[in-house]
Structure 1
Amino acid sequence: MSDLPKLIGERIRKYRKAKGLSQEELAHLANLHTTYIGQLERGEKNATLGSVEKVANALGIPLENLFRSIHSNPDSQEYTLSRIVTRLQTRSIEDQKIFLKLLDLLLDWKDL
Structure 2
Amino acid sequence: MGFDYQAIGSRIRKAREGKGITQELLAESLDVSNAYISKIERGRSAANLENLGKICTVLEMSTEYLLSGTSTTEDDYLRHEIIEMLEGCPPHKIRLIAQVIKPIIEYKE
Shorter-chain TM-score: what band? 0.5 to 0.7
Alignment correspondent of 1:15 = 15
**Correspondence 1:76-87 to 2 at 5 A:** 82-84=81-83
| Residue 48 of structure 2 is aligned to residue 48 of structure 1 | yes
Q: 1:8 to 1:25 in 2, by over 3 A?
A: same
| Residue 26 of structure 2 is aligned to residue 26 of structure 1 | yes
Q: 1:22 to 1:31 in 2, by over 3 A?
A: same
Q: TM-score, normalised by structure 2?
A: 0.60
CA distance in 2, matches of 1:84, 1:53: 25
CA distance in 1, matches of 2:67, 2:82: 12
**Taking every aligned residue pair, what percent have the same amino acid on both sides?**
30
After the TM superposition, list the runs of 4 or more consecutive aligned residues in structure 1 that deviate by more than 3 angstroms. none
Q: Unpaired segments of 5 or more residues in structure 1?
A: 71-78, 87-105
Q: Unpaired segments of 5 or more residues in structure 2?
A: 71-77, 86-101
Alignment size in residue pairs:
85
Q: TM-score, normalised by structure 1?
A: 0.59
